[in-house]
């Protein structure tokens, strides 16, 4: 009797969620549904396909006009490079700010925190002009270089490093371990959760970028996947199914990171960032 009431209470509580759950999920389910719908049914305004039609996915991957595999490769190269780059530059800087003493430490740290307040739009024009003056338009360098460090990453790792006991550093030094080795073989392995949070967050953000790749790429050789899907519409506004298949393909890596690294991702987000 008691358990029955408990189950009922649970069901009641959960059912309160249904309307909003539906609103959040429907855009994705609808996109998925359109992507596997036979084209004729899209134009008959069906909501659920009568049969499974994978031709849009096959088309996206095999039709050479769409360059989809290339876009995916580009996005992976850029996102992985930015992720690794930030892990390295932020680790190094955070190490200096938490373990070392030097002149100007406070001022430099405040300067780096202040950069968080400058919105991307206040720098994007001048950055575009710099990249174009260097002849780097349409290249991996253009996509990667401006994002190789971040104040948020330095801040996140510093917070973590500050939890280490100072004695650990002193003991390592007495044993003749220099700072570089101390960071690489002691601090970094012990900071896996923080590095994971930074990595998941940065990879996802770079994968999801739109404005900067739109500005600095002109050909399919370097375009990222987000630009790729938005161009499917310009190439052929009639193939709505193909467009939606493109969206699903792009979302799969993002959602995988979300599902498998949810905790790290949320820790990264909480470290203070605004989605751009």
Q: Which of residues 220-249 bind another protein (CB under 8 A)?
A: 226-227, 229-230, 233, 240, 243-244, 246-247
Which region among 7-15, 54-62, 63-71, 185-193 touches another protein (by CB under 8 A)? 7-15
Q: Considering the complex, what minimum distance in angstroms separates the CB of residue 268 from another protein?
A: 10
Among 89, 113, 164, 184, binds another protein (CB under 8 A): 89
Of the candidate residues 123, 159, 163, 185, the single one contacting another protein (CB under 8 A): 123
Residue 62 found at the interface with another protein (CB under 8 A): no
Q: Is 129 in the site for another protein (CB under 8 A)?
A: yes
* CA distance readout (Å), 92 to 110, 144, 205: 17, 19, 21
Tell me if 140 contacts another protein by CB under 8 A. no
Q: Which stretch binds another protein (CB under 8 A): 41-49, 135-143, 159-167, 187-195?
A: 41-49
Placement of tokens 């390592």 in the chain? 172
Q: Which stretch binds another protein (CB under 8 A): 22-30, 51-59, 62-70, 189-197?
A: 22-30
Question: Which letter does DSSP use for residue 217 in this model?
Answer: -
Tell me how far, at minimum, the Cβ of 247 lies from another protein, in Å. Answer: 5
Residue 138 vs residues 110, 131, 215: alpha-carbon distances, Å? 34, 10, 9
Task: Enumerate long-range contacts of 28-37, CB under 8 Å, 24 or more apart.
Answer: 28/251, 31/244, 31/247, 31/248, 32/244, 32/248, 34/240, 34/241, 34/244, 35/241, 35/244, 35/245, 35/247, 35/248, 36/241, 36/245, 37/241
Q: In the set 53, 77, 113, 128, which binds another protein (CB under 8 A)? A: 128
Residue 174 binding another protein, by CB under 8 A: no
Decide if residue 146 touches another protein (CB under 8 A): yes
CA distance 159 to 164: 10
Decide: is 74 part of the binding site for another protein (CB under 8 A): no
Minimum CB separation of residue 96 from another protein in Å reads 4
CB of 137 to another protein, least distance (A): 12
Single out the segment in contact with another protein by CB under 8 A; choices: 50-58, 65-73, 95-103, 184-192.
Answer: 95-103
Number of Cα atoms under 13 Å in the Cβ half of residue 94 = 30
Smallest separation (angstroms) from another protein to the CB of 215: 6
- Residue 185 per-residue DSSP state: I
Q: Which of 240, 221, 220 is nearest to 232 (CA)?
A: 240
> Looking at 1, 107, 122, 165, which residue binds another protein (CB under 8 A)?
122
User: Helices 151-161 and 105-115 sit at what angle, rounded to 10 degrees?
Assistant: 130
One of 1, 16, 107, 165 touching another protein (CB under 8 A): 16
Q: Does 184 bind another protein (CB under 8 A)?
A: no
| Backbone dihedral angles phi then psi of residue 233, each to the nearest 5 degrees | -65, -40
The answer to whether the Cα torsion of 52, 55, 58, 59 is positive or negative is: negative
């Amino acid at each position: 009797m008691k358990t029955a009431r408990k189950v009922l209470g649970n069901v009641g509580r959960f059912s309160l969620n249904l309307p909003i759950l539906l609103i959040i999920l429907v855009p994705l389910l609808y996109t998925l549904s359109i992507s596997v719908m036979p084209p004729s049914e899209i134009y008959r305004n069906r909501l659920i396909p009568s049969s499974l039609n994978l031709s849009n996915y096959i088309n996206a991957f095999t039709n050479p006009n769409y360059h989809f595999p290339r876009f995916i490769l580009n996005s992976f190269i850029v996102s992985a490079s930015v992720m690794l780059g930030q892990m390295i530059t932020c680790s190094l800087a955070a190490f200096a700010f938490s373990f070392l003493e030097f002149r100007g430490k406070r001022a430099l740290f405040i300067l780096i925190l202040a950069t968080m307040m400058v919105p991307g739009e206040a720098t994007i024009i001048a950055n575009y002009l710099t990249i174009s003056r260097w002849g780097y338009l349409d290249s991996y360098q253009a996509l990667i270089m401006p994002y190789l460090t971040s104040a948020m990453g330095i801040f996140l790792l510093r917070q973590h490093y500050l939890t280490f006991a100072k004695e650990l550093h002193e003991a390592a030094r007495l044993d003749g371990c220099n700072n570089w080795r101390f960071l690489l073989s002691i601090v970094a392995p012990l900071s896996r959760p923080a590095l994971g949070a930074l990595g998941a967050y940065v990879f996802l953000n770079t994968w999801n970028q739109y404005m900067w790749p739109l500005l600095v790429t002109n050909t399919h050789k370097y375009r990222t996947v987000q630009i790729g899907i938005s161009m499917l519409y310009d190439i052929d506004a009639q193939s709505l199914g193909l467009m939606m298949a493109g969206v699903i393909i792009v979302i799969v890596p993002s959602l995988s990171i979300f599902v498998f690294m949810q905790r790290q991702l949320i820790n990264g987000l909480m470290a203070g960032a605004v989605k751009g």
